[in-house]
Structures are given as structure tokens and as C-alpha cells.
Amino acid sequence: MIESWFSKLKERLVWRSEFETLEEARAAIAAYVETYHHRPHSGLGYRTPKEVRKTWEDAQESEASTKSRGLG
């Protein structure tokens, strides 16, 4: 699995770029990783992890509110 991920990183970023310095390469790779982790995922219904978390948090707040009013 990780080999596939690194392969895609190389195809999409490393081989298409000419970095002047190691720091420039590190910054570009860090930005790629950040973007990759916050993209929509098929396993999440094509939502981002942030969207899924917000939905979950909203549901938790709603449930707590319902319980505090004695409706649950």
C-alpha cells in the first residue's frame, strides 16, 4: 500500500519538478501530503475527512442537546 502511495507521489510531483534545494523539495512534498490527506475519499462518500468530522460533531451535539432536554 505505501509503495503505491510513494509511486504516485513520485509520478505526480517529484519527477515533474526541478527543485533547487532540499528545503524546496521538502516544502513541496509537505504541501502535497497535506493536500492528499484532506482530499475527498471514496470510503467517506466522497467527502473530506474534515466534512465527516463536522457531520459527526454536529450529530454528537444534537444528541447531547436532545438528552439534556429529556427527549432521548
Statement: residue 10 has pLDDT above 80: yes
pLDDT at residue number 68: 78
Buried b (16+ CB within 10 A) or exposed e, 21-54: eeeeeeeeeeebeeeeeeeeeeeeeeeeeeeeee
* 13 and 28 Cβ atoms separated by less than 8 Å: yes
- Whether the CB-CB separation of 50 and 58 falls below 8 Å is answered with no
Rounded to an integer, what distance in angstroms lies between the CA atom of residue 37 and that of residue 55?
18
The chain-wide mean pLDDT, for the chain, equals 89
Q: In the predicted model, is pLDDT for residue 72 greater than 60?
A: no
